[in-house]
Amino acid sequence: MLELLRRNLVDVSKAVGPLMAVTAVLLLLLTDSPAAMLLQLLAGALFAVVGMALLFIGIDFGILPMGRYVGAALPAKR
């Protein structure tokens, strides 16, 4: 379970990381926003990464086994 969580966190971080990096750079260079805004962006990105990783774990445990079962049973029913 922890290995699955770690793997999902790494995968989601690879997907979200570049977007957050570009957004953070643009926030710092193009706007006169306070540093608290950058911290808020990073905290939101962290929550999004954790939430997406938990969603993917739920899919792996709940939906995929059901789909495999139904997919295996359909050919028997013709």
Report pTM. 0.78
Q: How many domains does one find in the chain?
A: 1
Residue-wise pLDDT for 15-74, tens only, equals 999 999 999 999 989 988 898 999 999 999 999 999 999 999 999 888 988 988 888 888
Query: At what angle are helices 2-30 and 35-58 packed, to 10 degrees?
Result: 150
Residue 15 is encoded by which pair of tokens? 């997907």
Print the domain residue range for 10: 2-77
CA angle in degrees (0–180, nearest 5) for 47-58-49? 20
**H helices of 1-78, where?**
2-30, 35-58, 64-77
For the chain, the first-to-last Cα distance in angstroms comes to 36
